[in-house]
Amino acid sequence: MGIPYGRQNITQQDIDAVVRVLKSDFLTQGPEIAKFEEAFAQYIGAKYAVAVSNGTAALHLSALALGVKPGQKVITTPITFAASANCVRYAGGEVIFADINPETYLLDINKVEDILKKDKDVVGIIPVDFAGRPVNLEEYKTLADKYGCWILEDACHAPGGYFSDSKGNKHNCGNGDFAELAIFSFHPVKHIAAGEGGMITTNDEELYHKLLILRTHGIIKDSEQFKNSIDLAVGQVPNQLTTHNSQLTTYPGWYYEMQELGFNYRLTDFQAALGFSQLKRADEGLKRRREIAEKYNENLIDKPYILGQSGVVEGHAYHLYVIEVQNRQGLYEHLRKNNIFAQIHYVPVHLMPYYKEFGWEPGDFPNAEAYYQKCLSLPMFPTLTDDEQNFVFNTIEEFYA
Ligand SMILES: Cc1ncc(COP(=O)(O)O)c(C=O)c1O
């Protein structure tokens, strides 16, 4: 099948975990969800975690919980998967793109501040730990506080990643120390695979409760929060007050209320069991990703055709290992001919026809567009063997020889 850029690693232990749930009483809404959420929150170092059906759903619910409304603007990077921006549109808000830093490939905080200085309608920032490189959220928090914005960290690429703050303290991506909310994806190419799946982490209890309600149709089951009367709950309607049973003091057991417009964005229990089983090996996988990155870095650093690369960066989670090269398309085709399926991350989101309709156009973000011309994501997954990685090097060398 060749060497893809990313690949899941499913063990017998993972399979057993899924089969056990398939044979249990609950395929969904069972005990596996809370187990996975607790373990994930602990791994990341956040107080709360909410499991959802995919990373896009995590972004959508986050935008709603943060209260994005029509007329409000949110800043994100053009070098990301479209979902990082789309969540703002789902909630009716406007996406404002800002250019990337050409060294880190991350949203350029100076460009973000330039926008914040001029535009009072910006309410939030969605920085992305692109490729697994952690955003310095301490700096973003200072900026967000200055301009009254919230931060939603798109940490899909970075479970296990961290950055060191100005005092040298480490902060895991998604731990909620600086961002109101963070989101993750469990798509098979990510660090933890659940087929599809996502997680939202936060330290904010109010946002946590909002997310739980939005995840399941906006339905409330806690009688303390019910808005309808007990009479209405048991089926009494005003014109039947003759049968009014005034001694009722508690709501019936079956009763629930839908108090706002929510969704079914639940994860199934067998996916949660897979995620939980994978989470146990997350550190091992991350260690291997870092080894692979170091080897790419060492072997490519002096090559004249390398114009930039992910490099060796403290706390990087290496979802991707990106190189920038001359004749990127030629190399891409040459690798494919040799069954190496390198990929491009990403086509800049502001150039998607959907976003061009909002007025974004080529030339808006020179760094993002220059990066896009040259970038290529090399195979990066924990089960990539040394022989396979050597074959990747040799095939690259062969192309530029
Ligand atoms: C940066 C980023 N954000 C959001 C998503 C959306 O996640 P999902 O595919 O689980 O909906 C992805 C996944 O592809 C991603 O890479």
pLDDT tens track for 101-137: 999 999 999 999 999 999 999 999 999 999 999 999 9
Question: Of 152, 149, 154, 178, which Cα lies nearest the Cα of 45?
Answer: 178
Question: Of 256, 184, 186, 246, which Cα lies nearest the Cα of 225?
Answer: 256
User: Which atom of ligand 1 lies at the shortest distance from residue 197's CA?
Assistant: 10
| Predicted structure pTM score | 0.97
Which tokens belong to 202? 């936060």
* Confidence (pLDDT) at 377: 98
Question: Of 116, 182, 177, 124, which Cα lies nearest the Cα of 149?
Answer: 124
Q: Which residue has the CA at smallest separation from atom 15 of ligand 1? A: 81
Q: What Å distances lie between residue 393 and 217, 298, 306, 341, CA to CA?
A: 50, 11, 12, 13
Sheet containing 198-202: give its strands across: 48-52, 198-202, 181-185, 150-154, 122-126, 73-76, 94-97
Average pLDDT of span 252-268: 97
Question: In b/e form, how buried is each residue of 142-173, taking b as 16+ CB within 10 angstroms?
Answer: ebbeebebbbbbbbbbbbbbbbebeeeeebbb
Q: CB 190: neighbour CB atoms within 10 A?
A: 23
257's enclosing H/E stretch is: strand 257-258
Q: Which of 187, 199, 345 to mutate to test the pocket of ligand 1 (most atoms within 8 A of CB)?
A: 187
Q: Is the pLDDT of residue 222 over 60?
A: yes
Distance 167 CA to ligand 1 centre (A): 31
pLDDT band at residue 246 under the 50/70/90 scheme: low
